[in-house]
Amino acid sequence: MRMSAVQARLERYLELMKKMKSYEEALGVLYWDMRTGAPRKGLETRAEVVGVLSTELFKLGTSSEMGELLAALSEREAFESLSRVHQRSVTENKKEYDRSKKIPPELYQKYVVLASQAETAWEECKPKSDFETFRPYLEQVVSYQKQFIELWGYEDNKYDTLLDSYEPGMTVKKLDAVFGALREKLVPLVAAIAEKPPLDTSFMRRKVPTERQRAFSEYILKEIGYDFAAGRLDPTTHPFATGLNPGDVRVTTRYIEDDFKNALFSTIHEGGHALYEQNISPELIGTNLCTGTSMGIHESQSRLWENMIGRSRPFWERYYGELQRMTPELGDVALDDFYRAVNEVKASLIRTEADELTYNLHIMVRYELEKLLMNDELQVADLPEAWNAKYKEYLGIEPPNHELGVLQDVHWSGGGFGYFPSYSLGNMYAAQMMAAMREALPSFDADVAAGRFEPIKAWLTDKIYKHGRLLTPSEVIRNVAGAELDPTFLTDYLEKKYKEIYKL
Amino acid sequence: MRMSAVQARLERYLELMKKMKSYEEALGVLYWDMRTGAPRKGLETRAEVVGVLSTELFKLGTSSEMGELLAALSEREAFESLSRVHQRSVTENKKEYDRSKKIPPELYQKYVVLASQAETAWEECKPKSDFETFRPYLEQVVSYQKQFIELWGYEDNKYDTLLDSYEPGMTVKKLDAVFGALREKLVPLVAAIAEKPPLDTSFMRRKVPTERQRAFSEYILKEIGYDFAAGRLDPTTHPFATGLNPGDVRVTTRYIEDDFKNALFSTIHEGGHALYEQNISPELIGTNLCTGTSMGIHESQSRLWENMIGRSRPFWERYYGELQRMTPELGDVALDDFYRAVNEVKASLIRTEADELTYNLHIMVRYELEKLLMNDELQVADLPEAWNAKYKEYLGIEPPNHELGVLQDVHWSGGGFGYFPSYSLGNMYAAQMMAAMREALPSFDADVAAGRFEPIKAWLTDKIYKHGRLLTPSEVIRNVAGAELDPTFLTDYLEKKYKEIYKL
């Protein structure tokens, strides 16, 4: 192919991609709007608008023109003439294009309808703890996932291709190793803590008016370096952050009067996601690389800011006085009691309410079960029993019903198999990144204790944020730590922190 | 054409139209978002998103497929087989399609670029009162408008085709008659009021905190029947209402601490627009008829609620106590003084700050000048002098500079010739509608004085709102009043109201 032809194709490709990004951004605004205050009566029509734009976006991404451009630009000579950004953009897009094209449109259409029905069924069955009515839906969803696995293909383990769609390059082999190492350390640690007398954390239930919580959320976001000229904070039911473009990255949080720590930590959590998106290099705007590189790396940033910084002692040495000033309800609570309360460990049944330590065990339960399901080693009908057994084994407790057990998460009804491990990967990445950052910034603890987050944000931007999806997850962790993912950083961190808190 | 073929074309037409409405709604959300709090740093990328979706929408509306469908469905036999809604939808769409198609795309593209440059030039020249630098831009905009007029064609007066695009069916002949009648009554009335000693309205400048203004805005919107389950109220710089769909009609307002009447009346004004859009019949959702029928009829509803109800004595008999309770700053101001203050008449230079009475004279100045310009009877170079002379003639005052004179409005730089008359048409329609409503609802004043707006909203819905664009503007006024537009209702109303207030 002549270079002028390559150039023409590249330009057309960039144009199409920019168009796709525009649709994505418009959809992002619509979703944000629907979740932060769009009036109830307009939602039915709004859903159709979302349908129309999503369909157009899907058509753009799977069009024969896109296919031809990606094929032409992937040819060796053409590919080698591209810039690094364009090479990676083509590689990523081609991977997604090929994946989409392997599923026959009719099959996918049927699956979308089923997934939507299954989600509705889940919503109805969960409060009734009724697994049996939900079972046939889940069986079908699992059966579709298995068909997709065959169409996408796999090398080693059937579950690998699902993992790869959320965490490129992740495999059962790698995960078994890291989760095994994690489990070995964490299960005994959780058991040892369970032996200790429980903390008195009743002051965490004192009522704090929404307006005070909102003011502190805003204050703390500014402190950690979130840029309000490139974002905004709004209340919602299920907190999320959304990067529409690096100049518009929005954070949402939830204010519960008698549980102020909910907003406090979900704000910092979503703020971590937002710091990532706000600091992606402007040169990636308008490309498919202008986003976090994987769910796991994204989660590493929310966890790093929420738990490793936001629940650390130096952080509260700096901010507890300010929190007390803005939240007089805590006036009589000592810093040390507050610090221990926000780090309370308690084996519990619900993943989303779990603490930093036991959270990983909730994830491992799901990982083990998904792996078994996808490899035909477990039937959907036997899932509840297997779920309860795993909870007993890992956390030492058993759900009294399915609402608090196997039916608690929305993920499976929508077909999100392979997603759960991202949460624990995030914790592991974060611990490893923290260790590297502490080495690079010897004054790290003093900086946090002084509210000096600039050097921290600058280091994270340089190592992670600015690259967006230009680096793969494993390139990111190598760029940060000079090594592959290593779970011992997380276990070391957790053991040190919680042995100190629980005086083990 | 066989009926099954008509049916197939109709279905495809409805599908295309629904798609267009989806793009419009998405764009509506994006505009609302940009004006109510989208972060500054994201706006540049957001503008590109708006550009992509607008281009797609334009392509859909001017596609050859749309052209063929409209041609086929407009054929007599096919057209007669359509429902009333579909007939009107096709007629309206065909009119817009034909209009768009008459402008060569290259010409239109050049014009869009020019209009954007002219707006930027206007923004820079206005604060400097620099008409000469702005002049060449305006000359070009006018020259393009004249080219468009020739391409679109006209019967009687060149300006008619511009009027028609905002107010279907409106002509210079009709407007000359109604504006003539208006001017004859209003110029002497304004002059007579100018002779009277000015009112003391200094209390209107007392500082009222934003939060109090917001609370009253929300309260009064609920009172007049605005449905918060189908809308929301947000602050902005230039207030507007936007009907995304009848279940999502948003109102914005502006809070100025030392000018609380600004938010108060702009909230009721936009609330009037919103009542129209919230009450369009659900059967029109997804069609091009699901909107107000013209700028003039739309403005009639904002003016009717803002001025004829919202600045009436019965209204404040009901709500002044509540306003005082929520705004203790007005505790010592008597109802009568307040009523007169919100109806103060004062010849002023700026249209957007004008009172109910003089507002129409500001419009007539612009109407006269636009008509002359489009008919080659006035050159852009002579516009400032003509502007000042008209202000002297109609309002008895002359602008000291162009910022307060010919450069005050954005409309002309963007090519919005023909738009201004809508504002006064709105006032005239509103007065005529009010007279009909008073006849139909004999307890009108008592209802307002008791805060009973249900019968009023029901009557307006039945006569105007529910029809959306299913009726033309002149069908609407005939449906309401059994007659064509008649300016004497407005002059009678204004004379009666202001002779009483100013004791003439």
pLDDT digit string (tens) for B360-383? 999 999 999 999 999 999 999 999
CA of B54, closest CA in chain A: separation in Å? 11
Q: Does the distance separating the beta carbons of B228 and A39 come in below 8 Å?
A: yes
Look up the pTM and report it.
Answer: 0.94
Q: Token match 């910084």: residue?
A: A309
**At CB < 8 Å, which residues of chain A contact B?**
18-19, 22-23, 25-26, 29-30, 33, 37-46, 48-49, 51-53, 56, 227-232, 244-248, 250, 285-286
Residue spans of beta strands (DSSP E) within A308-348: none
Which residue stretches of B75-130 are H helix? 76-81, 84-102, 105-125
Cα distance between residue B159 and residue B163, in whole Å: 6
Contacts of B49 (CB under 8 A, 6+ apart): A22, A25, A26, B30
Q: Does the distance separating the beta carbons of B42 and A248 come in below 8 Å?
A: yes
Sign of the CA dihedral running A450, A454, A460, A463: negative
DSSP string, B224-281: HT--GGG--EEE-SS--EEEEETTEEEEEE---TT-HHHHHHHHHHHHHHHHHHHTS-
Of A418, A387, A406, whose CA–CA distance to A125 is shortest? A406
Between B51 and A494, the higher pLDDT residue: A494
pLDDT digit string (tens) for B338-348? 999 999 999 99
pLDDT digit string (tens) for B122-151? 999 999 999 999 999 999 999 999 999 999
Give the pLDDT confidence score for residue A450 in this predicted structure: 98
Q: Does the distance separating the beta carbons of B49 and A232 come in below 8 Å?
A: no
Give the pLDDT confidence score for residue A105 in this predicted structure: 85
SS3 A419: coil
Q: Are B251 and B241 in contact (CB under 8 A)?
A: yes
> Which residue, of A102, A117, A148, is where some domain finishes?
A102
Structure tokens at A214: 């909102």
pLDDT digit string (tens) for A300-323? 999 999 999 999 999 999 999 999
Of chain A, the percentage scoring pLDDT greater than 70 comes to 100
Give the pLDDT confidence score for residue B373 in this predicted structure: 98
Answer yes or no: do A210 and A324 share one domain.
Answer: yes
Give the pLDDT confidence score for residue B204 in this predicted structure: 97
Tell me the chain A residues in contact with residue B25 when contact means C-beta distances shorter than 8 Å.
Answer: 45-46, 49
Q: Does the distance separating the beta carbons of A46 and B229 come in below 8 Å?
A: no
Cα–Cα–Cα angle for A198, A203, A208, nearest 5°? Answer: 145
SS3 A244: strand
A254 domain-assigned: yes
- C-alpha distance from residue A242 to each of A269, A292, A460 (Å): 13, 11, 19
Interface mutation target, options A32, A34, A46, A49, chain B, most CBs of B under 10 Å: A49
Answer yes or no: do A331 and A463 share one domain.
Answer: yes
The three-state DSSP-derived secondary structure of B306-344 is HHHHCCCHHHHHHHHHHHHHHCHHHCCCCHHHHHHHCCC
Structural domains in chain A (count):
2
**At CB < 8 Å, which residues of chain B contact A?**
18-19, 22-23, 25-26, 29-30, 33, 37-46, 48-49, 51-53, 56, 227-232, 244-248, 250, 285-286
A383 domain-assigned: no
Answer yes or no: do A225 and A98 share one domain.
Answer: no
CA of B376, closest CA in chain A: separation in Å? 43
Q: Does the distance separating the beta carbons of B30 and A245 come in below 8 Å?
A: no
Structure tokens at A127: 């409060």
Cα distance between residue A415 and residue A417, in whole Å: 6
Interface confidence (ipTM) of the complex: 0.93
Query: A92, A167, A270, A356: which one is catalytic?
Result: A270
Helix or strand (DSSP H, E) at A253? strand A248-253
Q: Does the distance separating the beta carbons of A45 and B248 come in below 8 Å?
A: yes
Give the pLDDT confidence score for residue B19 in this predicted structure: 96
Long-range contacts of B47-56 (CB under 8 A, 24+ apart): B48/A18, B48/A22, B48/A286, B49/A22, B49/A25, B49/A26, B51/A22, B52/A18, B52/A19, B52/A22, B52/A23, B53/A22, B53/A26, B53/B23, B53/B26, B53/B27, B54/B27, B56/A56, B56/B23
Residue A353 a catalytic site member: no
- C-alpha distance from residue B215 to each of A185, A461, B306 (Å): 56, 43, 18
Q: Does the distance separating the beta carbons of B230 and A52 come in below 8 Å?
A: no
Neighbours of B420 (CB within 10 A): 23
A364 domain-assigned: no
Strand order, beta sheet including A233-235: A233-235, A248-253, A241-245
A242 domain-assigned: yes
B1: confidence class by pLDDT, cuts 50, 70, 90: low
Which of left, alpha, beta for B153 (phi over 0: left; psi -120 to 50: alpha)? left
DSSP label at A420? Answer: T
Give the pLDDT confidence score for residue B4 in this predicted structure: 87
What is the rounded average pLDDT of the residues A479-496? 97
Structure tokens at B27: 């764009």
Of A247, A278, A19, whose CA–CA distance to B43 is shortest? A247
pLDDT digit string (tens) for B193-241? 999 999 999 999 999 999 999 999 999 999 999 999 999 999 998 899 9
> Which residue, of A102, A134, A166, is where some domain finishes?
A102
Amino acid (one-letter) located at A189? L
Answer yes or no: do A208 and A96 share one domain.
Answer: no
Q: Are A118 and A158 in contact (CB under 8 A)?
A: no
Select from B29, B40, B247 the Cβ nearest to the Cβ of A229. B40
Answer yes or no: do A97 and A221 share one domain.
Answer: no
pLDDT digit string (tens) for A344-379? 999 999 999 899 999 999 999 999 999 999 999 999
Interface mutation target, options B29, B278, B291, chain A, most CBs of A under 10 Å: B29
Q: Are B248 and B228 in contact (CB under 8 A)?
A: no
Which of left, alpha, beta for B129 (phi over 0: left; psi -120 to 50: alpha)? left
What is the rounded average pLDDT of the residues A94-104? 94
Interface mutation target, options A14, A18, A43, A46, chain B, most CBs of B under 10 Å: A46
Residue A235 phi, psi dihedral angles, 5° rounding: -80, 150
Select from B22, B42, B231 the Cβ nearest to the Cβ of A39. B231
A139 domain-assigned: no
SS3 A383: helix
Residue A292 phi, psi dihedral angles, 5° rounding: -65, 150
Cα distance between residue A432 and residue A485, in whole Å: 8
pLDDT at B158 over 70: yes
Cα distance between residue A80 and residue A9, in whole Å: 14
- The domain that contains A242 carries what CATH number? 1.10.1370.30
- C-alpha distance from residue B198 to each of A281, B21, B201, B421 (Å): 61, 50, 9, 29
pLDDT at B2 over 80: no
Give the pLDDT confidence score for residue A137 in this predicted structure: 96
What is the rounded average pLDDT of the residues B341-357? 94
pLDDT digit string (tens) for A238-262? 899 999 999 999 999 999 999 999 9
Tell me the chain B residues in contact with residue A18 when contact means C-beta distances shorter than 8 Å.
Answer: 48, 52
Q: Does the distance separating the beta carbons of A26 and B53 come in below 8 Å?
A: yes
pLDDT at B51 over 80: yes
- Distance between first and last Cα of chain A: 68
A244 domain-assigned: yes
A156 domain-assigned: no
Contacts of B274 (CB under 8 A, 6+ apart): B226, B231, B241, B243, B249, B250, B251
- C-alpha distance from residue A458 to each of A271, A280, A476, B221 (Å): 16, 12, 16, 48
How many beta-carbon pairs under 8 angstroms link A with B? 116
Answer yes or no: do A64 and A207 share one domain.
Answer: no
A474 domain-assigned: yes
Strands A233-235 and A248-253, how do they pair?
A: parallel
> Which residue, of A84, A102, A120, is where some domain finishes?
A102
pLDDT digit string (tens) for B231-280? 999 999 889 999 999 999 999 999 999 999 999 999 999 999 999 999 99
Q: Which residue of B has its CA nearest to A229?
A: B39
Interface mutation target, options B45, B57, B277, chain A, most CBs of A under 10 Å: B45
A1: confidence class by pLDDT, cuts 50, 70, 90: low
Give the pLDDT confidence score for residue A2 in this predicted structure: 75
* Length of chain A as a residue count: 504
Answer yes or no: do A219 and A328 share one domain.
Answer: yes
What is the rounded average pLDDT of the residues B83-88? 98
Q: Does the distance separating the beta carbons of B46 and A25 come in below 8 Å?
A: yes
pLDDT digit string (tens) for A423-478? 999 999 999 999 999 999 999 999 999 999 999 999 999 999 999 999 999 999 99
Longest Cα–Cα distance of chain A, Å, equals 75
Helix or strand (DSSP H, E) at A248? strand A248-253
SS3 A245: strand
Answer yes or no: do A214 and A338 share one domain.
Answer: yes
Q: Does the distance separating the beta carbons of B247 and A41 come in below 8 Å?
A: yes
SS3 A250: strand
Provide the domain limits for residue A98. 1-102
Q: Are B39 and A248 in contact (CB under 8 A)?
A: yes
pLDDT at A3 over 80: no
Mean pLDDT over the full length of chain A: 96
Query: B92, B167, B270, B344: which one is catalytic?
Result: B270
